[in-house]
Structure 1
Amino acid sequence: MLSCALLVACANGFQSQEPAAAPPPAPANASLGDPGAWTSTGRDAAEQRYSPLTQIDQKNVDGLGLAWSYKLDVDRATEATPVVVDGIMYVTGAYSIVSALDPRDGHELWKYDPKVSRDVDRQGCCDVANRGVAVAGGKVFVGAYDGRLIALDAKTGAPLWTADTVIDHKRSYTITGAPRVIKGRVLIGNGGAEFGVRGYVSAYDADTGKLDWRFYTVPGDPSQPPENEAMALARATWYGDQYWKFGGGGTPWDSMAYDPELDLVYIGTGNGVAWNRKVRSDGKGDNLFLSSIVALKPETGEYVWHYQTTPGDSWDFTATQSLILADLSIDGKSRKVIMQAPKNGYFYVLDRTNGQLLSAKNFVKLTWSSGIDMQTGRPMETPDADWTSGPKLIFPGPLGAHNWQPMSYSPQTGLVYIPAQQAPALYAPDNSQTFKGKGLWHLGSQPIALPEKPKELQGIADLYKGQLVAWDPVAQKAVWTQDYATIWNGGTLATAGGLVFQGTADGRFVAYAADTGKKLWETPADTGVMAGPMTYTIDGQQYVTVEAGWGGAFPLALGGISTVAAVKPQARVLTYKLGGSATLPAVDLAPETLPPPPPVTASAKVVGHGRELYNRYCGMCHGPDAMSGGVIPDLRYLTADKHLLFNGILAGAYASKGMPAMMDVLSADDADAIHQYLIQRAHDLQKQLAAGSGKAGG
């Protein structure tokens, strides 16, 4: 699992654990390199999400008020961290729409819509989100959901060049992550592993958009020679011929970091396709470079070292979560480290010069592994981990112990602030699955299904718990924690003012004391907050900004459970300052009125078949068992006209509204069976509401 390492001489790191000195006053227009700016998605190349600003601190944070808000175009998953460069804020929303704002008052300077087709949902996992832009050399770089990398003029928003990053348009490639600009190159990874793609990260010339290099994360066609030594190394860890038909996966869809002194760029890679390693690789092999941290040379993409967090991953335990660089004192020595808390539930500290594992401890409850063998660096799997022979309830599940929501590190406290969660899953195998084509899920597992009875559903929902964990990466232990109503809470921001900011799934924005975890301030956000906050100064005033808006994998794939959050997807940019007095528009949280459903005309057998089809083809967006999380329409609430048009909707009548056509995989009888199942579920809900039990999923 640990590779042959390229050893690099030690040099001074990014941040020590010494308390940060107060920064000098920021210039009127915070620009690149100024302490008052936020120049990239993680603030700097180390991705610490730590600001040296101190104007807002533990003593006065309770004086924060809303300075301004900006309404984003689409009320869907809002996951970006804004960037402030040269006095302009750049934000993105759903469908990769970019806005440039004045950071003083939020007024719009320009907007760019890449015109991503609104029926693209079927081609990707976990909502049409975008996690932000990169800004360099007078250009703004954004990855569009459909796979285009676009350069815009930073002052006007005019497009300068577009690169198609997709290597095979017969496969479902997407982009949700923020690009990084390193040494004149724009780096971007793609998503799509669940749908059957081969993972890679690409580097494009920032001036021209020309492809400079590409690093594949899993091996390609076994009948062809491997592209390089890294792919030769990887190929020896894969078995059978299914992996190539499925694509392999390993998509690096989010995290990156860069050490300019070592001149190494670090990427995190994703899960395999199918998830089920018995389907993917005959149940054998480590399947490099799935679920790995990989170090590359930024000028060539040449492989340097790797560490695989989950060899032979069979649970969707991606290692695409936040990568943070820091210098830590370990055993009396200063070590250049890279830290990660991936989905699998362990917090890893590695030597970033060579990939050596220094320590690893679990930060949440685990049942799939009993610990990390420090001799081999491998997790010790428990008997409960193998679900390929029958269903198993495993902690954590595919939503992970920590998902994409970014964590932060404070060199002032020496703590990492992790948006942690307990999110188990019942994995059930489909060992006969084969690759079926574009736009379809390929997991090697049965579709997600939830109990339809409210009491049983509530019992499942009670297993899902959210938490903010302040983690000591040297001692490998929690220093303090904050519990939340449910999972899917937002990313974190640490500041030299002794604060940690985080939004919550149940619609709040909160500040804690970074050293003790005491809650010092909170304000309603009027929607679920998932994104990572940031802070900046302009005209001598410090602001704190977070993008708010509910969506993503949790409310889509587990709708009936996610309703515990009780929010709606109001997508906005929210900015606060000391003494701010702006207000948010009122949000109508009144429940939707259930239209009288038509009678069920099919047999119980047909309705049961409709349930199976629905969960396989519809449930990953509209919620399993027709229980929506409030982001995508709840199909139990179909109106009379939509019931009449139901088959037409599946044929593409609502494509421009975001509903993809499905009749390429469904027959007319299938569509009728799904329709009858939805009518039955509407009648079920009608009875629950009459009995006063329409809570979880209601």
Structure 2
Amino acid sequence: MRLSARGLAVGVTLSLAIALPLGFNAARAATTTVDAAALSDQAQGKNWLAYGRNFYEQRYSPLTQINTESVKRLGLEWNMPLPKDRSLLGTPLVVDGVLYFSGSWSVTRAIEAKTGKLLWEFDPKSIEHAGDRLRVMWDSNRGLAYWKGTIVICTIDGRLIALDAKTGKQRWSTQTTDKSKPLYISGHPKVFRGLVLIGNGGTEFGASRGYVSAYHITTGKLAWRWFVVPGNPKDGFEDPSQEMAAKTWTGEWWKFGGGGNVWNGLTYDPEFNQILLGTGNGSPWNRKVRSPGGGDNLFLCSIVALDADTGKYKWHYQTNPGETWDYNSSMDIVLADLDLNGNGKKTKALMHAPKNGFFYVVDRSNGKLLKAEKIAKVTWATGIDMKTGRPIEVEGARYEDGEEVVWPGPLGAHNWHAMSYSPKTGLVYIPKSEQPAQFNDTKIKMVDWRSPYFATDTAVGMGLENDVPPGVSTSSLIAWDPIKQVKVWEQPTKEFWNPGTMVTAGDVVFQGGIDGSFSAYHAVSGEKLWSVNLGSGISAPPITYEVDGKQYVSLLVGFGGAGVSFVGGEALRQFGWAYGAQTRQLYTFALDGKTPLPKVGDPFIPKPIVPTDFKVDPALVAKGEPLYVSHCTMCHGAGAASGGYAPDLRASPMVVSLPAFKAVVQNGAKVQPFGMPQFKEISDSDLEALQHFVRSRAEIAVKNSESAAKKE
């Protein structure tokens, strides 16, 4: 191990960057100007300049030193322990031998990409800025941006911050959201033409009207803003696209915000100077509530093209008109020139695999649908009508009678975990997931429903009061031919949280796994060529770069994301990535690397506590159940079974003691440094009800375990 955990823990809590001039002098002098030309260059492989490596979002590297023959020689070159981090979902950037990455609470670091030596660190103090927004946000983000010597980071509490890439000193900070609303940023910023673009999330936690904002990268001043859904028509419309969209809504949708938050899926298209947005689901999810008379509800669940300079609407393609299942289109949008007809004439296309289970190819000059086919089990639609571009929906799939089991569930057939595309093989490498959901709105008061405020309510039940058992879901890495619209090969992966991919000209596809594996596959055949177990669950995608003629592969390891926190359950708990059990790491591999793998902590599965002197009251359990779903599920997991993002409350001594429970929940004893939010409004009787619900789930878990042991 090159670096010690003790040495790297120093300074994590500082509010200003730590500049280490000697370390920076040891790094290679910067020679690359990261601008539109550099971000349009698909031939260079030395640097990884953007989330998807460049503007095209292909996550494809032209490097070939690590290839199908040599990959078996991969070994650990260096690792950086990250003892104060938790959820690591981001894509690092590499510019001229310096690697930049953002970790938990958007703490950002610059390190020597060749050795892992820390150069500087910046802590934006996200917990201090968050206030009540801690209730609706996690600690994670998916990355940062670089433009002409400026690093731009986004914070979970809604700020954009520009840093000097050499020193880590703050240049400016801009609040992009209303601090009084339950909005957060978990995505990555997108830079282009001297502007930086960002959206936000929050549709599940309150009335929310989605929008994206572009800021001048030199000053942080707002350049333009575009709203995804229309507001109250009586207030007028910001632009003609809002007036057009309002015709597709019914009722008084603006009281619920409408939704459409753009929390991921931002692509800049340099050839048409346009921004391509993947827009989110409705607020609330259930269309019966937000738009009771039906309607397509533009621009929910769509790909939208905007003029990059002005933010003016150009065109759109809606993947799910009148969406009601959380099938948002906030997944990555990949650009490529495709010979769709085999005649040598290439179309400037985009490729998109949203949650709904279909893979789309769209002409990015005008938004015309070119190809669409299922990549997973889909029961809500039989296909896509290629004349109209609309899905052919299955009768009853919208839970018209109040209840329906639908595939895929809200986690989607493909979530935010990035797919990659190799122009060499012509294949797209997609982390696919298959799981159902039982939508049920029979207990929802359609007329009297009101948006929550810093709590969870989607206006439809999905059984989040119950644990998610192993084996309900399956997942795999698939190689998809976007022209023939067929699967070429498939490799099974574990459960439902399936990390992103990266592919190289060496015909190697890299992907981490929630079981701790980091693997390399043959891009043509799908054969597994190399694998190592890193001892902790993985959520982030890998990158590759070159320094002094040597190719490296880097990966952040820290189990996290909505699937881990919101869903969790025994399905993820079984792997033993319990809260605080393993030290997070940044790993970097190279051919013939000799560094031993670090000891990060053994797998650990917390045992539920069932005190003999505690009697569960069924009436209090019934009262505590909806409180748990609305206030606790998003971090501690469905059915109180944590996937590892937060402590498993069934095994927590704190919940056994009502005074200790009160100190944390009502009085905020763990706001710092853990980010556990404070709930002052939860009454003593509500707290007791929550306690009884958690204790009941602990008893159920113990009984299930004893029953399974007897069967064995």
Alpha-carbon deviation of 1:601? 3.8
Q: Which residue of 1 is the match for residue 676 of structure 2?
A: 659
Find out whether 1:275 has 2:288 as its counterpart: no
User: How far off is 1:600 after superposition?
Assistant: 2.9
Find the aligned partners of 1:593 and 1:365 in 2 and give their Cα distance: 35
Q: Aligned with 1:261: secondary structure?
A: coil
Deviation sequence 1:23-66 (CA, Å, 0-9, x none): xxxx9978444421101111010111000000110001000011
Show the counterpart of 2:494. 485
Other structure's SS at 1:127 match: coil
- 2:150 corresponding residue in structure 1: 139
Residues 596/225 of structure 1: CA separation in 2 closer, same or farther (3 Å cut): closer
Residue of structure 2 in register with 1:374 after alignment: 386
User: Structure 1 residues 624 and 122 mapped into 2: Cα distance closer, same or farther (>3 Å)?
Assistant: farther
In 1, distance between residues paired with 2:402 and 2:600?
48
- 1:138-537 equivalences in 2 (<5 Å): 138-166=149-177, 168-195=178-205, 196-241=207-252, 243-331=253-341, 332=343, 333-429=345-441, 430-432=444-446, 434-446=449-461, 448-449=463-464, 451=466, 458=469, 461-537=470-546
- Following superposition, the deviation at residue 642 of structure 1 comes to 4.6
CA distance in 1, matches of 2:508, 2:132: 37
For residues 684 and 463 of structure 1, the distance between their equivalents in structure 2, rounded to whole angstroms, comes to 19
* Equivalent position SS for 2:346: strand
Q: Provide, for residues 92-120 of structure 1, a one-character-per-residue CA deviation record: whole Å limited to 9, x for no partner.
A: 11211111111011111111111011776
Q: Is the 8 A contact 1:407 1:417 kept in 2?
A: yes
How far apart are 1:381 and its partner, in Å? 1.0
Q: CA deviation at 1:598?
A: 5.7
Residue deviations 1:228-275, cap 9 Å, x none? 01111111111111x211111111111122222221121111111100
Aligned to 2:23: none
Query: Would the aligned equivalents of 1:384 and 1:394 in 2 still touch at CA under 8 Å?
Result: no
3-state SS of 1:234 partner: helix
Q: Percent of counterpart pairs with the same letter?
A: 43
1:678 match: 694
> Residues 512-546 of structure 1, C-alpha deviation per residue, up to 9 Å, x if partnerless?
00000000000112212121211000011100111
Higher deviation after alignment, 260-269 or 395-404? 260-269
Aligned equivalents of 2:530 and 2:421: distance in 1?
20
Distance 2:349 2:283 in 1: 30
2:606 matched to which residue of 1? 592
Give the corresponding residue for 1:647. Answer: 662
Letter in 2 for 1:350: V
Q: Is the CA contact (8 Å cut-off) linking 1:498 and 1:513 kept in structure 2?
A: yes
Q: Check 1:184–1:248 CA distance in 2 against 1; reply closer, same or farther (3 A cut).
A: same
Q: Which residue of 1 aligns with 2:99?
A: 89
CA distance in structure 1 between the aligned counterparts of 2:495 and 2:132, rounded to whole angstroms = 25
Q: Secondary structure at the match of 1:91?
A: strand
Kept in 1, the 8 Å contact 2:616–2:695? The answer is no
Is contact 2:429–2:479 with CA below 8 Å preserved after alignment? yes
Distance 1:124 1:325, change over 3 A: farther
Kept in 2: contact 1:187–1:203 (CA 8 A): yes
Q: What residue number does 1:571 align with?
A: 584
Note closer, same or farther for the CA distance 1:74–1:381 as it changes in structure 2 (3 Å cut).
farther
Change in Cα spacing, 1:105 to 1:283, as seen in structure 2 (3 Å) is farther
Instruction: Go from structure 1 to structure 2 and tell me whether the alpha carbon gap of 1:420 and 1:283 turns closer, same or farther (over 3 Å shift).
Output: farther
Displacement of 1:285: 0.8
**Structure 1 pair 645/190, CA: closer, same or farther in 2 (3 Å)?**
same
Please give the residue correspondences for 1:92-111 in structure 2 after superposition, counting only pairs within 5 Å: 92-111=102-121
* Contact 1:123–1:174, Cα closer than 8 Å, also in 2: no
Per the alignment, residue 117 of structure 1 pairs with 127
- 1:395 CA displacement: 0.4
Change (3 A) 1:395 1:304: same
In structure 2, how many angstroms separate the alpha carbons of the residues matched to 1:59 and 1:126? 43
Return the letter of the residue paired with 1:668.
Answer: D
What are the ranges of 5 or more consecutive residues in structure 1 without an aligned counterpart?
Answer: 1-26
Superimposed CA distance per residue, residues 276-308 of structure 1 (whole angstroms, 9 cap, x where no aligned partner): 000011151111110111111111111111101
Amino acid at match of 1:571: R
Distance 2:100 2:284 in 1: 36
Following superposition, the deviation at residue 596 of structure 1 comes to 5.6
Structure 1 residue 616: Cα displacement: 3.0
Q: Residue 218 and residue 532 in structure 1: after superposition, are their counterparts in 2 closer, same or farther (change >3 A)?
A: same
- Are the aligned partners of 2:51 and 2:93 in contact in 1 as well (CA < 8 Å)? yes
SS at match of 1:193: coil
* Corresponding residue SS for 1:377: coil
Deviations 1:438-488 (A, max 9, x none): 312231112633656xxxx64xx3230011010000000100000112121
In the other structure, the counterpart of 2:637 is: 623
Per the alignment, do residues 681 and 91 of structure 1 end up closer, same or farther by CA in structure 2, a change over 3 Å counting? same
The 1:212/1:66 distance shift into structure 2, 3 A limit, reads: same
Counterparts in 2 of 1:444 and 1:592: CA distance versus 1, 3 Å? closer
Cα offset for 1:437? 4.5
TM-aligned CA distance change 1:74 to 1:424, over 3 Å: farther
Supply the distance in 1 between the matched residues of 2:368 and 2:439 (Cα, whole angstroms).
32
Q: TM-score, normalised by structure 1?
A: 0.91
Q: Which amino acid aligns with 1:101?
A: I
Q: Identify if the C-alpha distance between structure 1 residues 497 and 352 changes in structure 2 by more than 3 Å, giving closer, same or farther.
A: same
Letter in 2 for 1:272: G
Instruction: Answer with 395-404 or 548-557: which moved more.
Output: 548-557
For residue 671 of structure 1, what is the amino acid of its counterpart?
L
2:327·2:356 contact (CA, 8 Å) conserved in 1?
A: yes
Deviations 1:631-673 (A, max 9, x none): 2111112226854321232212322232212242x33212111
Deviation at 1:435, TM superposition (A): 3.0
1:599 to partner: Cα distance: 2.8
Report the Cα distance in structure 2 between the residues aligned to 1:201 and 1:620, rounded to whole angstroms. Answer: 24
Rate the CA distance shift 1:598–1:99 in 2: closer, same or farther, 3 A: farther
CA distance in 2, matches of 1:35, 1:220: 45
Q: Secondary structure at the match of 1:681?
A: helix
Structure scoring higher RCO (CA < 8 A, sep ≥ 6) equals 1
Change (3 A) 1:176 1:612: closer
1:301–1:598 CA distance, 2 compared to 1 (3 A): farther
RMSD over equivalenced CA pairs, Å:
2.2
Q: Against the structure 1 CA distance between its residues 501 and 312, is the aligned structure 2 distance closer, same or farther, given a 3 Å change threshold?
A: same
Count, aligned residues: 660
Distance 1:590 1:232 in 2: 54
Q: Which residue in 2 is equivalent to 1:638? A: 652
Amino acid in the other structure paired with 1:622: H
Partner of 2:11: none
* CA-CA distance at 1:73 after TM superposition: 5.0
Task: Supply the distance in 2 between the matched residues of 1:120 and 1:478 (Cα, whole angstroms).
Answer: 47
Distance verdict in 2 for CA 1:158–1:632, change over 3 Å: same
Equivalent residues of 1:100, 1:111 under 8 A apart: yes
User: Cα distance, 1:121 vs. partner?
Assistant: 8.5
- Alignment partners' CA distance in 2, 1:435 and 1:565: 38
Distance 2:191 2:141 in 1: 17
